[in-house]
Amino acid sequence: MVLRFLWAGIILVNTPVAVAADETRSDTVVVTATRTATTADSTLASVTVITRDDIERQQATSVPDLLRGTVGLGISNSGGPGKATSFYLRGAESGQVLVLINGIKVGSATLGTTSFQDIPIDQIERIEIVRGPRSSLYGSEAIGGVIQIFTRKGGGRFTPSLSFGAGSHNSKKASVSVSGGGKRSWYYLGISQFETNGFNACTGDPILFSGCFTIEPDDDGYQNQSGSFRIGHRFRNGIEIETHGLRSNNETNFDGTFVNQSETRQDVIGAKLKVPVTKKWHMSLDLGTSDDKSKNFLNKVFASSFDTKRETVSLQNDVSFGDRHLLTIGADSLKDKIE
């Protein structure tokens, strides 16, 4: 178990900040850069925000496709949909980039990476990317930066949604969701499925240093079934409670000498409590757990498995002094369990 104390002072001043043309507008509010709601120009950090409107406009089918081309972000992919994908922020290794889903740390404690390819894009509301070290706020996992994914939130009037589509390689996609809420409440519930026959990612060759070291002329298919929920309420006294969850079941085929099929499951569930102690002192408590399970097979014969569970507790106090000074004090607890 890792217990880390957070002590950070943030001074918000009107300092000119050079922002790249393809980065986020300076008046956009971001949370990840400082762990508090702050405009992008006040964070003095290199930040990119991708909204739900951006996702629908780009019509990307996966998180790697959505983030491809983002400034300062390199992507390595070993094949088509569902294949192992690694992200590199400003040259930092993928294990040095912290990934959060609604504030909960996710990823394999053994591999040090996150299965971005399995995170369902239909369930995503917003993505914030912070480039550069954030270890003082998030610990050693954030040496290269932080990528935080927020799931769909809902709100407003009752809104049902149904979508489906088809494409090349016998690809099929469908999703259904309901969302809504009131003046101080919000809810979202959605499920989605994606499957494709894929394609033969590598031809293979039995000669060393040639091809993929294996001959498997079959297509490398992929299936994903996922669902998420997010429910919250803000009381009249300003106290806010929220709970959220995400599950992704996946089956992937690929070319390999020792394993050529994997079945994985990602679970993330958490709860948040926000309390305005005074007008200038706000406290928040986050509880969450993530579970990353994987079973590997060779020609449908079981080969290996692992299970990583991460339990997190985060207590944060934000105290403002005047209009431009903010003091953040808190503590994070992380417990990893590997089977």
Whether residue 22 is predicted with pLDDT greater than 70 in this model: the reply is no
Window from 98-112, 116-130, 183-197, 282-296 with minimum mean pLDDT: 98-112
pLDDT-derived band at 335 (thresholds 50, 70, 90) equals very high
Regarding predicted confidence, which is higher, 47 or 107? 47
Window from 236-240, 302-306, 328-332 with minimum mean pLDDT: 302-306
pLDDT-derived band at 261 (thresholds 50, 70, 90) equals confident
Whether residue 14 is predicted with pLDDT greater than 70 in this model: the reply is no
CA–CA separation, 226 and 151 (whole Å): 12
Whether residue 2 is predicted with pLDDT greater than 80 in this model: the reply is no
The domain locations on the chain are 2-338
* Residue 108 pLDDT: 75
The chain-wide mean pLDDT, for the chain, equals 85
CA–CA separation, 31 and 39 (whole Å): 9
Question: Other CB atoms closer than 10 Å to residue 83's CB: what's the count?
Answer: 19
**Residue in the structure block whose two tokens are 């449908």:** 300
pLDDT-derived band at 271 (thresholds 50, 70, 90) equals very high
> Which residues lie below 8 Å from residue 77, measured CB to CB, with a gap of 6+?
64, 83, 84, 85, 117
255-282 in b/e burial notation, b at 16+ Cβ within 10 A? bbeebbbbebbbbbbbbbebeeeeeeeb
The amino acid sitting at 206 is P
pLDDT-derived band at 124 (thresholds 50, 70, 90) equals very high
Q: Summarize the confidence of residues 209-230 as an average pLDDT.
A: 76
* Residue 43 pLDDT: 80
pLDDT-derived band at 249 (thresholds 50, 70, 90) equals very high
**For the whole model, what pTM was predicted?**
0.85
The percent of residues above 90 in pLDDT, for the chain, comes to 49
**CATH T-level assignment (fold) for domain 2-338:** Ferric Hydroxamate Uptake Protein; Chain A, domain 1 (2.170.130)
Instruction: Say how many Å lie between the first and final Cα of the chain, rounded.
Output: 15
Whether residue 73 is predicted with pLDDT greater than 60 in this model: the reply is yes
